[in-house]
Amino acid sequence: MPPRPGTEATEVPPMPLAGIRVVEFSGSLAAAYCGKLFADAGADVIQIEADCSAGRRTPLEHYLDAGKRSVVVGEAGGTSASGHTATQSRGPDGLLDRLLASADIIVGTVTFDATGSEGTNGGTGDGPADAVRPQKAGRYGDARGLRTARVAPESATAVLPGGLSVGEVRARYPGCVLVTLSPFGTRGPWAGYPGNDFTLQAWGGSTARRGDAERGPLAAGGDLTDWSGGAVAAVGALGVLLGTAGTGRGEHVDVSLLEVATLVFNGFMAVAGQLAPPPGPPREPRPYTELPSVVRAADGWVGFATNSAAQFRAFAEMVGHPEWADHPEYSRADRRGLHAAELAPVIDAWAGERSVDEITALARARAIPVAPVGNGRETPGFDHMRARGSFVTQPGQGFLRPVAPYRLSDAATRPPTEAPERGAHTAELAAELTCESTSHGSEALAAGARLSATVNAEAESPARRIAPAARS
């Protein structure tokens, strides 16, 4: 398939997802990070924004939106006589409808609207869009992840920003991969309930196992569910795109952030206990802090991980107490934290007399997992990070930000670029889509057939490229 206008490969070597178009409805960290992963790999990611009045981008938005194109389509332009949202009226000359029709992947966070209950499909998220109200999603730093209005799940319709229901998108654009993110997914009795990173960690069980036994459970900060959910969504979308290439058949990738939190943030022992519980009565999870964990050195902080018997034996010898390794309680990773009153003062005294560099060298010599505790100022300066070029200066902003956390042997990732002004590409894409409509219509099925015939042969090639699936 010839490249879309404006997406001809100019990088040497080319980016692996060049030619793939992703339409991202802006509004949540999870959806934005999913789109960013595609943009980093060379996809043409088009961010749909309601208007240009959201103000200046924050540093986080500059990082997430760099390498994307921005289109403003405004609010939904009304509904048809049948009650369905008139997508063709959104934006100049039905721009939103044409963008969605041209997309290989559509990604967005869904909210839930109870007014669409009449005619919905039992809360599955695939019902028609009757009487759906346009929704506005918050920006990344404001929403603190995903939130939804409290509605009755059995009568809720899953709605993308702008008022499009999941069912409407699937009906109108059947050849597209639709990716939705929500706290509990679009199916099930909890669909439509509110949730965010804090509550999803608690529901998933990881909070109950984290913290000091004397002070109660702790949630982990950093909007981890949203970052992880965005990565899971990207993997699901790419897998479906590969699997349906050339068939003209789309799919709905329904990401539940609760399920992400349950699997990603629980420790191995917790997951193993849930999947294959040990004999006997079930035990209540209790907050637990690994010991040794993070300790204060003379000039900073250093962290250890001593889960295996060999690692703890080496640690006990290093701090001058080899007898700990044979103690029935101290030697067990799941029990020694209960003896912090006896062990922690000894460990703290030993570490307080030594520098971070000294402790790190001693631990590494004994094959003990160890790390100095970095921060936003120190981590980019680590020699390993500098050697790999892990951080770059954000163009036009001056702050350091991470690059894609992987390197490719034969292909390139997108070079650092500025985040676009809101709506900067609206006119450009309107003209581009007009050009595409005259050059791609008759070629899509033929290109899809060629891909289908060669995908198996190309699977072993490191230079393999993914072509968009033909659409019906």
State residue 133's pLDDT score: 30
Name the domain boundary from 372, 404, 430: 372
**Which residues does 293 contact at the CB level (< 8 Å), separation at least 6?**
303, 304
Q: Is residue 388 part of a domain?
A: no
Q: How far is CA 245 from CA 43, 46, 451, 454, in A?
A: 16, 21, 7, 11
Reduced DSSP (H G I as helix, E B as strand, rest coil) percent helix, strand, coil of the chain, to 5 = 40, 15, 50
Same domain, 193 and 114: yes
Q: Is residue 469 part of a domain?
A: no
State residue 144's pLDDT score: 39
Name the amino acid, one letter, at 106.
Answer: I
Q: Is residue 207 part of a domain?
A: yes
Q: Is residue 380 part of a domain?
A: no
Q: Is residue 288 part of a domain?
A: no
Retrieve residue 54's tokens. 């959201």
Same domain, 166 and 312: no
The four Cα atoms 107, 112, 116, 121 give a dihedral, to 10 degrees, of 70
Same domain, 30 and 79: yes
State residue 264's pLDDT score: 87
| Strand stretches in 323-452, DSSP E | 370-372, 391-393, 400-402
pLDDT tens for 342-368 read 999 999 999 999 999 999 999 999 999
State residue 465's pLDDT score: 42
State residue 273's pLDDT score: 59
Using CA atoms, how far apart are residues 316 and 194, in angstroms rounded to an integer? 47
Same domain, 365 and 437: no
Can you name the residues that pair with 391 across neighbouring β-strands?
Answer: 402
Which candidate, 441, 455, 414, 420, places its Cα nearest to that of 102?
Answer: 441
Tell me, yes or no, if the pTM score tops 0.85.
no
Same domain, 258 and 304: no
Same domain, 244 and 311: no
Q: How far is CA 193 from CA 96, 207, 459, in A?
A: 28, 20, 41
- Here the CATH number for the domain that contains residue 124 is 3.40.50.10540
Using CA atoms, how far apart are residues 310 and 36, in angstroms rounded to an integer? 41
Same domain, 205 and 305: no
State residue 456's pLDDT score: 46
Number of H helices, E strands in the chain: 15, 15
Q: Is residue 62 part of a domain?
A: yes
Same domain, 178 and 212: yes
Name the domain boundary from 372, 405, 438: 372
Counting as low any pLDDT under 70, the low residues of the chain are 1-12, 52-55, 74-93, 114-156, 213, 267-289, 437-472
Name the domain boundary from 320, 342, 372: 372
Same domain, 216 and 329: no
What is the span of the domain harbouring residue 196? 21-264+393-458
Cβ atoms within 10 A of the Cβ of 412, count? 17
- Here the CATH number for the domain that contains residue 359 is 3.30.1540.10
Same domain, 359 and 438: no
Q: How many domains does the chain have?
A: 2
Which candidate, 3, 1, 18, 66, places its Cα nearest to that of 408?
Answer: 18
Q: Is the N-terminal amide bond of 13 cis, ω within 30° of 0?
A: yes
Using CA atoms, how far apart are residues 11 and 415, in angstroms rounded to an integer? 9
pLDDT tens for 19-33 read 999 999 977 999 999
Q: Is residue 10 part of a domain?
A: no
State residue 439's pLDDT score: 57
Same domain, 309 and 440: no
Same domain, 126 and 254: yes
Using CA atoms, how far apart are residues 62 and 58, in angstroms rounded to an integer? 6
Q: Is residue 273 part of a domain?
A: no
State residue 267's pLDDT score: 63
